[in-house]
Structure 1
């Protein structure tokens, strides 16, 4: 399959590109600084996800799109003065541009990474995370909620992936993936999330589902 990854230089985006290539897909990796990602079965393209013309041109000819947009700057600095390098509503604006382009070009499969705690999973957040969401991350979470609503109303074959707290741990075992908000812990490695995103590109049984993604320590212990 030909797959476009929007937000490809973030941790989850890079992991998704790696997993997609490993599965044999042809990947177009797009972000503001993605040109260096070009390699076997990967074409890196510099572009802004909120630029509708750029997104439209890249979506054309694809079989699926994976969206891993976010703000990588320090959360406290972003809360106090806003992001310096990224649009504050990059998640919803970028996803809206992708959805519009997919409709125009007849591309059906859309896989979008949001965040655990958006939608029905909010009631399962630990108290500390609820405080962080309400105080430190409030504008970003509000934009993620808008993003999720756009995905659900898109009319496309969508899959929403909700990872818990992301880490850079080198974890090779599969994540726990649940469509009923269950989690095994409140952390998950970006490498694990990347694999879930890549799997969702191909699996028809996941269409229309919201997937909570977490690391199961018991699996790690068994694998070790």
Structure 2
């Protein structure tokens, strides 16, 4: 398959690219600085902004599926106090809306988007400590993720939302998935989440569903 990964230079995006390449897929990595990624067989690196309609119009056609891992990589406290410096504060919702439009025009139906556990229907399942942290530290990002999920749900594409718990850079591929918000732990390695993304783009399973991922 020919897969487009948008937000490919973040920790999650890199992990998804690796997982897809390991399975023999061809991957196009789109990010503002995608050319900084190491060159690899099967990987095309495209510098571009996920909110730029013209950039998306050029890169989306010809792909079998799209994986979106947009986010803000800057320190959460600084973003909360001053806003994001190098990324649009609403990059998730704004980018996803632009991606959905480009996918519709190009006839690309399969899209898998990474959100966060605790957004939407899983919000009521959060621990009290997590609710406090979300409210104090990352409330704007959570609101943006809620808007992002709404854009996707109304897109009429073959979408799946992936909601991982706290992400780590561990090397364990172990992961547990559910569609009812059930989790096995409160941390999961990006490596495991990336394998979930790869599983989802390879099949039509869980279209129109939200998949919670834990360790």
Q: Give the aligned partner of residue 133 of structure 1.
A: 134
Does the CA-based 8 Å contact 1:165-1:187 persist in structure 2?
yes
Deviations 1:181-210 (A, max 9, x none): 000011000111111111110121211110
Q: Give the aligned partner of residue 60 of structure 1.
A: 61
Q: Secondary structure at the match of 1:142?
A: helix
Instruction: For 2:36 and 2:133, locate their aligned partners in 1 and report how far apart those are by CA, in whole Å.
Output: 34
Instruction: For 1:98 and 1:3, locate their aligned partners in 2 and report how far apart those are by CA, in whole Å.
Output: 14
Does the CA-based 8 Å contact 1:32-1:48 persist in structure 2?
yes
Q: Give the aligned partner of residue 222 of structure 1.
A: none
Q: Give the aligned partner of residue 35 of structure 1.
A: 35
Instruction: For 2:165 and 2:30, locate their aligned partners in 1 and report how far apart those are by CA, in whole Å.
Output: 24
Q: Give the aligned partner of residue 154 of structure 1.
A: 155
Q: Give the aligned partner of residue 5 of structure 1.
A: 5
Q: Is it true that 1:210 corresponds to 2:210 in the alignment?
A: yes
TM-score by length of 1: 0.94
Q: Give the aligned partner of residue 176 of structure 2.
A: 176
Q: Give the aligned partner of residue 221 of structure 1.
A: none
Instruction: For 1:172 and 1:128, locate their aligned partners in 2 and report how far apart those are by CA, in whole Å.
Output: 26
Instruction: For 2:130 and 2:56, locate their aligned partners in 1 and report how far apart those are by CA, in whole Å.
Output: 33
Q: Secondary structure at the match of 2:113?
A: strand
Instruction: For 2:12 and 2:23, locate their aligned partners in 1 and report how far apart those are by CA, in whole Å.
Output: 16
Which shows bigger deviation, 106-115 or 17-26? 17-26
RMSD: 0.8
| Count of residue pairs the alignment pairs up | 214
Does the CA-based 8 Å contact 1:15-1:190 persist in structure 2?
yes
Structure 1 residue 80 displacement after superposition: 0.3
Q: Is it true that 1:71 corresponds to 2:72 in the alignment?
A: yes
Deviations 1:139-183 (A, max 9, x none): 11000000000111110000100000000111133x101001000
Q: Secondary structure at the match of 1:100?
A: helix
Q: Give the aligned partner of residue 219 of structure 1.
A: none
Instruction: For 2:125 and 2:57, locate their aligned partners in 1 and report how far apart those are by CA, in whole Å.
Output: 37
Q: Give the aligned partner of residue 107 of structure 1.
A: 108
Q: Secondary structure at the match of 2:205?
A: helix
TM-score by length of 2: 0.98
**Unpaired runs of at least 5, structure 1:** 216-224
Does the CA-based 8 Å contact 1:56-1:97 persist in structure 2?
no
Instruction: For 1:205 and 1:44, locate their aligned partners in 2 and report how far apart those are by CA, in whole Å.
Output: 28
